[in-house]
Structure 1
Amino acid sequence: MAMTAQDTAAASAAQRPPASAADSPGGGATGNPKALYGGTRSRRITVHDITAAKERGEKWPMLTAYDAMTASVFDEAGIPVMLVGDSMGNCHLGYETTVPVTLDEMTMLSAAVVRGTKRALIVGDLPFGSYQEGPVQALRSAMRLVKDAGVGAVKLEGGERSHGQIELLVRSGIPVMGHIGLTPQSVNTLGYRVQGRGEEAAQQLLRDAKAVQDAGAFAVVLELVPAELAAEVTGLLHIPTIGIGAGVDTDAQVLVYTDMAGLTPGKAPRFSKKYVDLRRALGDAAREFADEVTAGTFPQAEHTFH
C-alpha cells in the first residue's frame, strides 16, 4: 500500500533525533551539522549545499526578504535561503502586481538583503522585462544582481520558453533557480489560478520542469500546482523543488514573509499560513505611542537629557 504524505511525515519524524536548541542558529535542530536548517555551519549556504540536501532527502524553508533588518532576523532564525522576490512590488513598493518592478529596484533591495545576512543563500529575482528578450539580455540583467547586489543566485520565470536564458546564465557561472506553474509576471495572460490541471496542462508543466533542469537550474519553484502533480515532478527531478501552494511533498517550501508574518492586509492566500499578526501588533504599538504623546506622558524623565 502506498504511503500517504501524513505517513511519510510521521515516519520521518520518528527517525529524527531529539532536537537541541544549541545545535542550530534557529533552534530547529536536525542532528546533522550539514543540514540547511538546524545545521551548525556558519558560512554562506551555496547551491552545492542545496543539491546535497536533495540527495539527503532533507526538507528546508525559504522566505522572501526585501530589506537588511528583516533579512537579519531571518538569518538569525536560521532560514537557509532567502528570495528577494519581485513580490516586493505588491508588499513593499505598493504596486498592484509584480509587473512594474524594475531591475534598479531589484538590485538596490537585493544588496540590502545581502548586507543584512551572513549565512543564507540570497536569490535575486529577475523582474519582468529584464530577460524576456533573450539569453543575452538575461545575462546582462543577472550580472547586475550578482556584481552590484552580491546575490548568490538569480531566479527567473518560465520553463521551456526560458531554457535558453537559463542555459546561458549557468554556462556563464551564474546559478539559476527556475519558476514554473503560476508565474506572476504573466498575470495578464494566466490570471491568478492553479496551473497544471487537466492532462494537457499537466504534461506541459512536466515538460517545463524537465526543461528547467536540463538547462542547468539548481532548483525550481512550483507555484499553485496540484499537490499530486507537484509530488510527481519532485520524484522525477534530481534538482530540488520549492513549493508555494503545491502541497507537502516538494523538497522545500517558500512563503512571502508579509503573508507569513500577518502584515498583508485582507484575506491571506489559501496556500499561506499566518504565524503571527504583526499588522495588529504594530498598529497597537503605534496607537499606544500616539496616545502617550497626545496625553503628554511620553517622553518621561528616563527618555530625557539635561
Structure 2
Amino acid sequence: MTHREQGERAERAERVVVLALDGVYPFELGIPSRILGAADGRYEVLTCSVDGRPVRSNADFTIGVEHGPEILATADTVVIAPVDPSHVSTDLPDEVVAALALIRPDARIVSICTGAFVLAAAGLLDGHMATTHWQLADRFRRMYPHIALDPDVLFVDDGRILTSAGAASGVDVCLHLVRRDHGSELANTVARRCVVPPFRDGGQAQYIEQPVPEQGAAGTAATRAWALERLGDPLTLADLAGHARMSLRTFARRFNEEVGLSPGRWLIQQRLSRARHLLEASDLSVDQIAGQVGFATGASLRQHLHASIGVSPQAYRRTFQTAAR
C-alpha cells in the first residue's frame, strides 16, 4: 500500500465486511456491527453472504443480508462469523472458496469461534497462531494438525490474521481492533456504550470453572474493585485476602475460580492496562507512570509490557498516540 493510499484510508471510515455463512450464529453475527458501529463513525460495517441471498441461521429463522460476495473485495477488514459445528468441514463449498478469494491481500481477517475452521480450510491460517472455542480444540487439531492452536485464550492477534474463541470473545476481539486502531480511550468509550467490560486480555483463560456459589458465600468482586482504586500501592496477597476477610489459601482459590487468574497475575494485568492508557493519554514519563500504577521502577514496567505485548513503552506510546490522532 502506498503512502497516499494509507493517507486516504486513514481519512475515511474503515470498511468492515462480515461474511455470513449457512448455519451462522445470530448473536456473533451481530457483534461487529454493535461494537464497531459504536466507535464514532470510525468503521462502516456491512454484511454479506456468498450469493447475496438470505442465510439460514442455526436458530429457527433466516437472516436477510444486503450484499453479495463482491463487497468482500472492498473490505479493509473481513470478519468470518461462526457457524454451527455441524457445518464445519475440511472441504469448503465452491461458492465459499470463491468468496474468500475476493479478499484483498492487504485486508485484515478476523474470525469468531468456528470461523477459524473456515479460515483453516481455506489455507489462510497456515503459518499463523490461532484459537477457537475450547470445546472444539481437539476437533480442530485432528483436522488441522499443522496449525499452531492455543485453545486457552480469548483471542490471538497474529498481525493480519486475528482469531477469537466462542461467543463473547467476539466482543473482546472487536474492542481490541478499536484499541489497536484508535487507542484505549475510544475503546473504553465503546465499551461503556455497549455495557461490556472495556478490557479482557487476549491471554485470559477462555474457560473459567465457576460453580454457583452457596447462598451467602463471600466473593472477591468487592476486593477487586478496592484494589483497582489502589493500584499505585504495593498490594500483596495478604492485603487482598485481609480486605476480603479470607485466609490466604481460600482467597487465592476463590479468586482463581472467579477470574481464571491468580491474584498476582490479575494485578499485573490491571497495572499494565492502566499504564497503557496513561502512555496513550498523557505525557508522563515511563518512571512516573510506573509509580502511578504500582510497578516499583520504570524498568519493571518495561519488562512487564514487553513480556505482555512485545514492545517497549516508548514504541507503544508512538504507535497509539499516532493512531488516536
> Normalising to structure 1: TM-score of the pair?
0.30
> Normalising to structure 2: TM-score of the pair?
0.29
